[in-house]
Amino acid sequence: MPLRGRSSRCELALRPIAYAMTALFLTSLGVPRKARAQTKTAPEAVVVTGTRTPENAQRSTIKTDVVTREEAERRGATNVAEALSSQPGVQVNPGAYGSIGGVSAIQIQGFDRDRVLVLEDGERIVGDVGGAIDLASLPTADLSRIEIVTGPTSSLYGTSAIGGVVNVITRGPDAHGPSGRFRLEARTQPGYLAQGTLAYRRDSAWLALDGNLVGTGEKAEKPGLPDFTLPSVSRRMIGVRAGMTVLPRVDVRVRARYFDDLTSGLESTLAPGLGRYLVDLPTSTRRVTFHVIESIDLGSGSSLRLTLGKQAAFGDATKDRRDSPVDESRLRNHGMQSAEGTLTLADGARTWVVGSRVEAESFSQDLRKTESQTAGLVTTEGPEVAPISFGSAALYGQLAWKMGKKLTVLTGGRGEIHSRYGAVVVPRLSVAYRPRENLQMRASFGRGFRAPSAKELGFSFDHSFYGYRVIGNPALGPETSWGGNADISYAPHEVVTLRASGFVNRVSGLIDVDLASGTSTGTVADYKYVNFGDGTTLGAQGGVVAKVGEVLRAEATYDYLYTRDEKNERPLGGRPPHTVTASLRAVPFWKLEGIARLRVVSDAFVTEELRSPGYSTLDLRIGRPLWASSQAYVGVTNVFDVKQEPGRVGDFRPPFGRVFYVGLRAEFPWEDDK
């Protein structure tokens, strides 16, 4: 079948991939050849993560929060972690993970690390740090929006979706011909940011180049407190995205990205008889992702989506003792290949979703170590973690039935087979009821599960210098959960919306390090991961939003969280029970845009003798267009300069204090093409 119009170089490059993926489907599907007219839609008004089908964000069957690229920029965000750091209902704070400048993982409904699934354009991310996806490593250069779904969502997405799902979504260019956007920013610390996208669209084909460069400058060592020196960070990303309509009703997109992150930390160690050494801790992580996504429009709202993905994360973590040749480096590799097909069938009031997914994942870690022995310095290198490989295959289905204009019932389930622990089945049931235009109520119930990670099954990390190691456990079983969510939204007036929600979750087989059953080898204690017990989380949220046109928007939200470690009869550590978030955006005159965001976090349980201090942060920003499609801005984050106290154990306050920044962002074409 010939392509419409004249083929461009982009089309010629993508055509073989698209034909290979569609060859087995076109004959049986009977895809019509009638051409479609392209229409523009507002992506921020449509969500897909909660049900895998496009829905209006305000009327979605599953509650889905959205942070658009524009809103992320208003929050002063340079990455996904900063975009979500002041989002109601979640906690994103690198200070909660035991190291200054550590990973910016997310907590949802009291669950964190591997218990919240992080996606990019619907595909799971690999390359976690200690079981947590570092959201600070995900830039906003090519961001369209971030969708957050809370509660167990394993029936659609499988492992890790116990607490919820975060889906980082990109989008191709809308304008025909050349287009682009860029952002330049300077920050104290010191720091800098350069982001940009260049794109070209011709008819139904487009190509985009994305770039991101972020740095925090050189680390400034603190005299007498080297262990609490803020690390320097350098993050680079370059990406290529392309898309085209290869056949009538058949679209294909390709995305390839390369990430290169370098963190340079510092600590001190005391060697018996030799004194104290300063140890540089450079950690390098490189990640390569490649995805092909094909969408086939079957007509009347039905579609077929096919995806192929390959990811590889590799890097090294080094302990470089100053003025000493006794050093060590850990070289790690983590990879995943995946394939998925999702069929959506619109049958009048009913919408069916049927899909299957297969994954293959691998992990390995080598140790290169230089030691001082009787014969002199000896360098050895070999596997520290025996290479681990495992796979999974899943089938899932879902039915959304609109029973009139007011009621929608959604039910579904997923069956998954894992090569390490066997099979698991998780169901889901949701109801959405809209009795009036200004009132909406939703409730959902579902099961969740989390497969043990490669690091938990194998070796995790070696802190022999501090007297312990953590050993993987190949006998681990999955964590399983059930959870319920309910929310209500009511707009008594066109400028005011009231919201309330609640949830409860129960998890069995929680995986953690068994500190009570360590075994000693010489002066080093070995601990391993076990399925140690059950946990409970429950909470509630209440909020109000007031909006007066484009001139004023105010929002305030209160979140309450209760957690319980049932085995030890105590709260789960590092989960603040009370959080208040408030924001104000005003455009009073002269096109000035002023934004203020306040976040108040209560103290949190750490141990029976220790609590993390509560804190408050305030972010301010003001901006004004210099020309069409541009804005110059200045701002400050953490006005109160709240930060961790050096040497204080269990201090989960932010690691960074007050930060000033100034920048410019712009898009072209400069004028709207209307």
Tell me the per-residue pLDDT of 372-421, one tens digit each, with 9 for 90 and over. 777 788 888 888 777 888 899 999 999 999 999 999 999 999 999 998 88
Q: pLDDT confidence of 326, banded at 50, 70, 90?
A: confident
| Helix, strand, or coil (residue 81) | helix
C-alpha 581/C-alpha 89 separation (Å) is: 9
pLDDT digits (tens, 9 = 90+) for 178-193: 999 999 999 987 688 9
Domain count across the chain: 1
Residues 9, 535: Cα–Cα separation, whole Å: 55
Q: Taking residues 148-163, what's their average pLDDT? A: 92
What pLDDT shows up at residue 6?
37
Range of the domain at 78: 9-30+53-668
**Residue 36 has what pLDDT?**
36
- Residue 455 pLDDT greater than 90, yes or no: no
Q: What percent of the chain has pLDDT over 70?
A: 86
Residue 41 forms part of a structural domain: no
Asked if residues 630 and 665 have their Cβ atoms less than 8 Å apart, the reply is yes
pLDDT of residue 502: 98
pLDDT of residue 465: 58
pLDDT at site 15: 46
Name the DSSP class of 132: B
* Band of residue 130 on the pLDDT scale cut at 50, 70, 90: low
Does the residue 371 lie in any domain?
yes
Is 231:266 a contact under the CB 8 Å cutoff?
yes
pTM equals: 0.87
Helix (H) or strand (E) holding 641: none
DSSP annotation of 386:
E
The helix/strand/coil state of 550 is coil
Q: How far apart are CA 381 and CA 327, in angstroms?
A: 12
507, amino acid identity: V
Dump pLDDT digits (tens) for 12-30: 444 444 444 444 333 333 3
CB contact set of 571 (below 8 Å; sequence gap of 6+): 562, 563, 564, 565, 577, 605
Of 161, 86, 65, nearest in space to 118 by CA: 161
Q: Is residue 37 part of a domain?
A: no
Number of H helices, E strands in the chain: 6, 36
268 has a pLDDT exceeding 50: yes
**Segment 583-600 mean pLDDT:** 95
Q: What is the pLDDT of residue 99?
A: 43
What 8-state DSSP symbol labels residue 239? E
Residue type, 669: P
Under 8 Å between Cβ of 466 and 279: no
Lowest mean pLDDT among 112-116, 220-224, 343-347, 670-674: 670-674
Distances (CA, A) of 319 to 61, 382, 409, 463: 50, 17, 55, 11
Q: Could you read off the pLDDT of 429-453 as tens digits, one per residue?
A: 999 999 999 999 999 999 999 988 8
Average pLDDT over residues 266-280: 74
Among 42-46, 280-284, 423-427, which range has the highest average pLDDT? 423-427
Span between the terminal Cα atoms of the chain, in Å: 34
Residue 4 has a pLDDT of 38
Rounded CA-CA distance 197/181 in Å is 5
- 43 is a domain residue: no
pLDDT at 146 (0 to 100)? 95
Mean pLDDT for the stretch of residues 73-90: 90
Asked which of 326-335, 564-573, 641-650 is least confident by mean pLDDT, the reply is 641-650
pLDDT digits (tens, 9 = 90+) for 407-427: 999 999 999 999 888 899 999
pLDDT of the residue at 97? 56
Q: Residue 516's pLDDT is what?
A: 74
* Contact between 107 and 163 (Cβ < 8 Å): yes
Across the range 119-147, mean pLDDT stands at 84
* Within a domain: 673: no
Tell me: pLDDT of 226 over 80.
no
Greatest C-alpha distance within the chain: 83
Check whether 363 has a pLDDT greater than 60.
yes
Q: Is the pLDDT of residue 2 over 60?
A: no
Q: Does residue 569 lie in a domain region?
A: yes
CATH number at residue 107: 2.40.170.20
Q: Which residues, other chains included, contact 473 with Cβ-Cβ below 8 Å and sequence gap of 6+?
A: 452, 456, 457, 528, 529, 530
Using alpha carbons, list the distances in angstroms from residue 457 to 335, 362, 441: 15, 11, 42
Residue 218 domain-assigned (yes or no): yes
Note the pLDDT of residue 403: 94
Average pLDDT score over the chain: 85
pLDDT at 241 over 50: yes
Q: What is the pLDDT of residue 30?
A: 38
Residue 513 pLDDT class (50, 70, 90 cuts): confident
pLDDT, one tens digit per residue, over 522-549 is 667 888 889 988 999 999 999 999 999 8
- Mean pLDDT on 588-610: 94
Is the confidence at residue 349, as pLDDT, over 90?
Answer: yes
Interval 628-663: pLDDT, tens: 889 999 999 999 999 888 777 788 888 878 999 999
On whether residue 368 sits in a domain, the answer given is yes
Q: How far apart are CA 194 and CA 187, in angstroms?
A: 11
- The region, left, alpha or beta by phi > 0 then psi within -120 to 50, assigned to residue 110 is left
Structure tokens at 522: 């010489």
Structure confidence at residue 460 (pLDDT): 64
Fill in the amino acid letter for 648: R
Angle, vertex CA 525, rays to CA 522 and CA 527, nearest 5: 145
Task: Name the residue type at position 658.
Answer: R
